[in-house]
């Protein structure tokens, strides 16, 4: 396959393709292939030019299809046979946008260029690769790009040293295009590239899926650090997890000159949390840093309270060494308080208990903070617990979640709770915990006003 590499930027900006002509009748073979696709849970809704359009059917129980995946699908008639033959062998990847075979031996990941306007296919085609010819039985037919000065292939197919796995950067497969693409129109000259990991017969599905994901992420890491080619896998977008803000009210809102004094550092952290809407662990950490900012103040305030308590004790005697030592011991304990203990003090002293309980009783919080909720490895919240206050439970959960985000997985202190990765199902489910951290931060800011 070959194509010429002229200036495609205008097409990419417009995102258009030439007007589709009237659809040509399908052959008998193509009609049979379309029926195979329909039998796998799709309904044919149109035939426009060279493309067939489908939508996913709802289940018999009336439940909607998986909304984290495209509802519509379209495929070029020349790729119809490949989709009809292979669609039944694949399913959606659970964590990232892509497909995985039912036996786990073939995984295909869609990729994107973070922070750049140019689509990933255009960026990939800036690169040419020199690599050893693969020693495997896989078919690999990459695109060849010809310019006025050179001819090169933007993709590659690589063997692992033990020849027990292959990894490939190449044009999106018909099955992945049909299952994962949004069905939007793109320039006809645009090629979308994906990462494909091919493994031998699987020991079990979970192991193969884990190996394939590790191989893809290792490849992306090396492309970034060695060749300055920044690409990432695309996380699935589940329905739950992202806590949406309320719609602006229709009626005018009363506003006056600001009465809350907020340090610049705190204001900056709050602002960044809103900017990090697409990186939920960062948003959580920004609100945690607001709490961190106030930890010394609240710890000192607690120490002063305890010192005054000792001094005001009726038995306190300035001439007694024992009395003075009690004050000294209180000061020493305040110096060695851990960050977790300091956070418990902060939540206990700054957050109103009734407001905190109301937060956990809200409709959006139901089912999230329980033991079998979407975030594992952190304490659940039990409003009926008698051994710990709600404030202590909230502080322990926020601190444990902070540790899961910032601490390395192989740190023995956190061996029982693995690191929470930024592009994972748990990361996408952090919405309610972000709301909790934001609520605690706001309560603290209000409580610490002069």
- pLDDT of 98 reads 93
Q: Model pTM?
A: 0.64
- 217/214 Cα distance (integer angstroms): 5
Q: How far apart are CA 279 and CA 289, in angstroms?
A: 16
Give pLDDT tens digits for 187-224: 667 888 999 999 987 678 888 888 898 888 889 888 88
Q: Show Cβ contacts of residue 196 under 8 Å, excluding neighbours closer than 6 positions.
A: 106, 107, 108, 109, 167, 168, 169, 170, 173
User: Counting Cβ atoms within 10 Å, is residue 188 exposed (0-12), middle (13-18) or buried (19+)?
Assistant: exposed
- For residues 232 and 112, is the Cβ–Cβ distance under 8 A? yes
Look over the chain and give the mean of its residue pLDDT values, rounded to a whole number. Answer: 81
407: Cα within 13 Å, side-chain hemisphere: 16
Whether residue 412 has pLDDT greater than 70:
no
How many residues does the structure list for the chain?
450
Task: Calculate mean pLDDT across residues 24-32.
Answer: 86
pLDDT band at 14 (very low <50, low <70, confident <90, very high): very low
Tell me, what's the pLDDT at 226? Answer: 85
Of the listed ranges 73-87, 139-153, 244-258, the one predicted with least confidence: 244-258
Q: How far is CA 244 from the centre of its chain?
A: 16
User: What pLDDT was estimated at residue 147?
Assistant: 78
pLDDT, residue 18, reads 45
Token duo for residue 93: 């990847």
Is the pLDDT at 231 greater than 80, yes or no?
yes
Would the CA dihedral through 152, 156, 157, 158 be positive or negative?
positive
15-19, 67-71, 101-105, 323-327: segment of lowest average pLDDT: 15-19
pLDDT of residue 241: 43
Angle between helices 280-312 and 264-275 (to 10 degrees): 150
Residue 333's pLDDT band, with cuts at 50, 70 and 90, is low
Confidence bin at 268 (pLDDT 50/70/90): confident
3-state class (DSSP) for residue 99: strand
Q: Hey, where are the domains in the chain?
A: 2-233, 264-447
From the list 9, 449, 129, the residue with the least C-alpha distance to 266 is: 449
- Percent of the chain's residues with pLDDT above 90: 27
**pLDDT tens-digit map of 126-142:** 888 888 888 888 888 88
Cβ neighbours of residue 395 closer than 8 Å, sequence gap 6 or more: 340, 343, 344, 346, 347, 348
Average pLDDT over residues 47-67: 66
* pLDDT at residue 443, rounded to an integer: 93
């Amino acid at each position: 396959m070959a194509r010429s590499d002229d200036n495609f930027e205008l097409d990419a900006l417009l995102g258009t393709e030439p007007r589709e002509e009237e659809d040509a009748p399908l052959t008998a073979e193509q009609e049979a292939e379309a029926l195979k696709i329909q039998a796998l849970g799709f309904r044919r809704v149109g035939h426009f030019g060279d493309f067939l359009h489908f939508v996913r059917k709802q289940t018999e129980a009336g439940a909607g299809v998986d909304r984290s995946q495209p509802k519509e699908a379209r495929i070029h008639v020349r790729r119809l046979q490949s989709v009809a033959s292979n669609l039944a062998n694949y399913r959606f990847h659970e964590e990232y946008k892509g497909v995985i075979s039912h036996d786990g031996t073939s995984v295909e990941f869609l990729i994107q260029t973070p922070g750049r306007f140019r689509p990933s296919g255009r960026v990939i085609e800036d690169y040419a690769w020199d690599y050893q010819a693969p020693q495997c039985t896989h078919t690999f037919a990459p695109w060849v790009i010809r310019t006025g000065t050179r001819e090169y292939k933007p993709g590659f197919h690589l063997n692992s040293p033990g020849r027990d796995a292959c990894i490939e950067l190449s044009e999106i497969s018909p099955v992945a295009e049909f299952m994962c693409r949004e069905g939007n129109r793109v320039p006809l000259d645009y090629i979308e590239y994906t990462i494909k990991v091919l493994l031998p017969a699987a020991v079990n599905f979970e192991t193969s899926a884990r190996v394939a994901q590790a191989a893809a992420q290792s490849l992306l890491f090396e492309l970034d650090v060695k060749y300055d080619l920044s690409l990432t896998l695309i996380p699935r977008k589940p329905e739950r997890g992202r806590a949406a803000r309320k719609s602006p009210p229709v009626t005018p809102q009363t506003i006056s000159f600001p009465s809350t004094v907020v340090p610049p550092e705190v204001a900056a952290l709050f602002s960044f949390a809103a900017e990090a809407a697409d990186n939920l662990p960062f948003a959580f950490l920004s609100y945690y840093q607001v709490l961190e900012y106030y930890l010394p103040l609240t710890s000192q305030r607690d120490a002063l309270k305890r010192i005054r308590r000792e001094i005001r004790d009726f038995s306190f005697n300035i001439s007694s060494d024992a009395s003075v030592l009690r004050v000294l011991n209180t000061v020493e304990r305040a110096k060695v308080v851990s960050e977790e203990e300091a956070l418990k003090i902060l939540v206990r002293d700054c957050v109103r208990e009734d407001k905190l309980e109301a937060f956990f009783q809200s409709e959006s919080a139901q089912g999230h903070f329980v033991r079998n909720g979407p975030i594992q490895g952190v304490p659940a919240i039990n409003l009926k617990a008698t051994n710990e206050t709600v404030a202590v439970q909230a502080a322990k959960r926020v601190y444990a979640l902070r540790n899961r985000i910032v601490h390395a997985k192989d740190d023995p202190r956190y061996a029982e709770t693995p690191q929470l990765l930024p592009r994972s199902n748990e990361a996408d489910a952090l919405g309610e915990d972000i709301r909790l951290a934001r609520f605690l931060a706001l309560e603290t800011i209000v409580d610490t006003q002069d």
